[in-house]
Amino acid sequence: MEFKRATYESSEHIRLPHWFKQRFPKPETMVTMKGLLEELGLNTICQSALCPNIGQCFSRKTATFLILGDICTRHCTFCAVEKGCPLPVDGDEPQQIVTAAATLRLNYVVITSVTRDDLPDGGAYQFARTTSLLHEKGMAAEVLIPDFLGSTEALKAVVESSPEVINHNVETVPRLYAEVRPEADYLRSLQLLSRVKTQAGIITKSGLMLGLGETRDEVIRVMQDLREAGCDLVTIGQYLQPSPKHHPVSRFVPPEEFSRYEQIGQEMGFTAVVSAPQVRSSFKAAELYTRTKDSL
């Protein structure tokens, strides 16, 4: 397993704004984390999606685990995860994640996956089994799930494992889905979040990327849609282009605009909103869960 290094430059070699500068993590910490993941045969979205915060997370000895392999069946143009024909599901993967989480002394574990439209259940059972094993060891679980092609039975399997948070990202505004998420469906995503909240009462979460070509009014409309679907938490961050082959960055949204969206979200009634250029879905995940749990 190798670390991918992203330049996050468009075909015109646009440089990142100064507010993206981060301190480089200690090399020994990165090596330690890489060694553990390789030993257990695990993937992380931090590596597969070229997350700009990987240094910060790995230096704190935490990560967002990626289950169901590292090859996605969909072709979203914003995402750096490899696309193609996935390998069979690894039955040992849930236990390996528990082992890694215990080694890292994690109390709160974030799990996501590639989208597996090739599987009858979309990988829902793997999510459920991983969550159940984590609970057996006294760890909390947040799952960032795909839409399972709208399958209510698949979603039910995840819900019945009772993760502390169910996250499903809408990613962008509906107008851009054809360009950015061609195999996804905006209304299907909202329905998933609504079902989780109305049928199970589990804390729900979603996320947006800015800089794909959306307008301010469209962003606010999506936030309103999420609230109407009963979404409790929302994360908003800047889209970064993984390579010249991916969707271009339309603009770099300044920090003060992100702060304004955070204020708007709070006024709408979200329990917690985190909105800043470097924010990603799992940013301060345990903190957001604790804040929401204490307020409900």
User: 244-292: per-residue pLDDT in tens?
Assistant: 899 999 999 999 999 999 999 999 999 999 999 999 888 888 888 998 8
Nearest-angstrom CA–CA distance, 179 and 78: 9
Helix (H, G, I), strand (E, B) or coil at 208: strand
* pLDDT at residue 45, as a whole number: 57
Q: Are 230 and 204 in contact (CB under 8 A)?
A: yes
Which residue reads 């849930």 in tokens?
94
Those residues with Cβ within 8 angstroms of residue 185's Cβ, 6 or more apart along the chain or in another chain: 147, 150, 177
What is the arithmetic mean of pLDDT over 53-57? Answer: 56
Nearest-angstrom CA–CA distance, 44 and 63: 7
* pLDDT at residue 8, as a whole number: 41
How many angstroms separate the Cα of 201 from the Cα of each of 30, 31, 255? 38, 40, 33
What confidence tens digit (pLDDT) does each residue in 130-169 have?
A: 999 999 999 999 999 999 999 999 999 999 999 999 999 9
Place 294 in a pLDDT band, splitting at 50, 70 and 90: confident
What is the arithmetic mean of pLDDT over 211-225? Answer: 98
Nearest-angstrom CA–CA distance, 116 and 129: 16
* pLDDT at residue 186, as a whole number: 98
How high does pLDDT run on average in the chain?
A: 87
pLDDT at 31 over 80: no
Q: Which CATH number fits domain 18-295: 3.30.420.10, 3.20.20.70, 3.40.50.170, 3.90.260.10?
A: 3.20.20.70
Q: Are 37 and 44 in contact (CB under 8 A)?
A: yes
Higher pLDDT, 137 or 103: 137
Q: Which residues of 265-280 are buried (b: 16+ CB within 10 A; e: fewer)?
A: beebebbbbbbbbbbb
The H or E element that residue 41 is part of is: none
* pLDDT at residue 293, as a whole number: 84
Phi then psi for residue 133, to 5 deg, are -65, -40
Percent of the chain with pLDDT over 70: 82
pLDDT at 35 over 50: yes
* pLDDT at residue 23, as a whole number: 65
What is the arithmetic mean of pLDDT over 94-115? Answer: 91
What is the arithmetic mean of pLDDT over 70-77? Answer: 94
- Closest among 94, 44, 86 to 66, alpha carbons compared: 44
First-last CA distance in the chain? 41
Q: Which residues of 65-74 are buried (b: 16+ CB within 10 A; e: fewer)?
A: bbbbbbbbbb
What confidence tens digit (pLDDT) does each residue in 176-217 have?
A: 999 999 999 999 999 999 999 998 999 999 999 999 999 999
Six token digits for residue 221: 């409309």
Phi then psi for residue 105, to 5 deg, are 60, 45
User: How crowded is the C-beta side of 93, counted as CA atoms within 13 Å?
Assistant: 25
Helix (H, G, I), strand (E, B) or coil at 40: helix
Place 236 in a pLDDT band, splitting at 50, 70 and 90: very high
Those residues with Cβ within 8 angstroms of residue 22's Cβ, 6 or more apart along the chain or in another chain: 52, 53, 55, 56, 278
